[in-house]
Amino acid sequence: MIKSRRDFIKNISIASSSVLFAPSLASANSFFMGSPNDKVLLGIMGVNSRGDFLAKNFAKLPNVEIAYICDPDAKVLARAIEAIAKLTGKKPQGFADVRKMLEKKDFDGMAIAAPDHWHAPAAIMALQAGKNVYVEKPCSHNPREGELLVEASKKYKGLVQMGSQRRSFNNVNEMIAKLHHGAIGRVYFARGWYTNNRASIGKGKVIPVPEHLNFDLWQGPAPRAAYRSNLVHYNWHWFWNWGTGEALNNGTHELDVIRWGLGVDYPIEVTSSGGRFHWQDDWETPDTQTITYKFPNQTAASWEGRSCNGYNSEGSGRGVVFYGDKGTIVYGGANSYQMFDLANKLIADVKDNTKFDPTNKVSPTENLDALHLLNFVEAIRGKEKINAPILDGHKSTLLPQLGNIAYRVGRVLNCDPTNGHILKDKEAMKLWSRAYEKGWEVKV
């Protein structure tokens, strides 16, 4: 293990104020190959953007090796292999098909940063192959996949960490602890938001698939659709067949903090409104959306997404405000927060000056995310507990998924507070799961 968390953070240029001490230790992980020097071998799936970031930053961790890289785009794959070889001096083996990569027995975990429609299916395949999993948010494309992933993690007994990085930030943990200990009294409402200035994706044309892209593998479990000129590599986020919109692309982070702070699991009521208002193009999901929730413990929450107007709220492009009967906590999305009393007097100002860019599409909290990655590999070694286990990941992913379902059916959803299932609405429950391309059905 590294000498100290402070030395680690210093080595990767994270401010000393970001030090996060390890949580209680876990028992040894049976999915760890257990090399004598505690080296963890990883495979990375999807390396165009976020996956490229994950590969490089996992590679910088002590005693971690990127052994395999998978991407159906040959150009992206070659670029990532070259980057890791240059960074570490060792060339990982590349694959176009994740199924082929998972035939390799000698690696401990797989990080998944492929498009959203791949997240849960790939994670389940990895668990079935005896691998631990780091899956980026959202952990699933639809609620049923989230349930299946939770089931798979129990059945195959592998670790599954969702990319809810704030669960590993020390000041955020401190803030949540203060909330739970009554620092602002009884917390009864939370408001989250995300803003950006995204350009139009235009009107795409059906064109031949580029020779360097295996589009069949890229689509994987999703029902087949024609290749479009404005789909790959990022705009898939805004098409329902592969993506989940801004609510899951970014809102999952704020809603995870909200659910954590309010101490809630599943809502009893969900409403949503919005639309594609700014541009007239192929973008299917809303660029402007509000989602509101009621929970069974007499609390409520809202989330606002503005993909095409980046005006800040509370001085930040993203964040959460918690309202209590004795005060307010304002969290700006990174590792700092402020606390006010009911007279709006500032009574605590906890700062971390680590660079933070809320509009960064790859990693807004880039210089803090390594803490979450480190937690995953230390958990593989059996030295820490996972900070964002998949049951929590599923619950937090479900909130924006329910918001999207409410938006798509255009009415209030009433939900079962024990599991989040939509009550007495067959049309809405049809969106609880999805159809799969034949031969790619998700099975646990």
Are 400 and 303 in contact by the 8 Å Cβ rule? The answer is yes
Nearest to 119 by CA among 357, 442, 424: 442
Other CB atoms within 10 Å distance of the CB of residue 60: 16
* pTM above threshold 0.85: yes
CA distance to 16, 22, 165, 254, 273, per residue, from 6 (Å)? 7, 11, 18, 27, 45
Q: Which CATH number fits domain 170-204+214-360+390-432: 2.40.30.10, 3.40.50.1100, 3.30.360.10, 3.30.310.80?
A: 3.30.360.10
**Helix-then-strand count for the chain, H and E:** 13, 15
Phi and psi based region of residue 34 (left: phi greater than 0; alpha: psi -120 to 50; beta: remaining): left
Write down the pLDDT at residue 367: 73
Nearest to 366 by CA among 10, 14, 59: 14
Q: How far apart are CA 219 and CA 224, in angstroms?
A: 7
State the helix-helix crossing angle for 390-409 and 251-262, rounded to 10 degrees: 110
Segments making up each domain of the chain, as ranges: 5-167+374-380, 170-204+214-360+390-432
Q: How far apart are CA 175 and CA 178, in angstroms?
A: 5
Residue 131 is which amino acid?
K
Instruction: Report DSSP letters for 70-94, one per residue.
Output: E-SBHHHHHHHHHHHHHHHS-PPEE
Instruction: Report DSSP letters for 92-123, one per residue.
Output: PEEES-HHHHTT--S--EEEE-S-HHHHHHHH
Write down the pLDDT at residue 30: 57
Q: Which CATH number does 5-167+374-380 carry?
A: 3.40.50.720
Q: Which two tokens stand for residue 281?
A: 């193009």
Per-residue pLDDT of the chain (444 residues; tens, 9 = 90+): 333 444 444 444 333 333 332 333 333 465 666 555 699 999 999 999 899 999 999 999 999 999 999 999 999 999 999 999 999 999 999 999 999 999 999 999 999 999 999 999 999 999 999 999 999 999 999 999 999 999 999 999 999 999 999 999 999 999 999 999 999 999 999 999 999 999 999 999 999 999 999 999 999 999 999 999 999 999 999 999 999 999 999 999 999 999 999 999 999 999 999 999 999 999 999 999 999 999 999 999 999 999 999 999 999 999 999 999 999 999 999 999 999 999 999 999 999 987 756 665 656 567 789 999 999 999 999 999 999 999 999 999 999 999 999 999 999 999 999 999 999 999 999 999 999 999 999 999
Write down the pLDDT at residue 354: 76
Are 34 and 374 in contact by the 8 Å Cβ rule? The answer is no
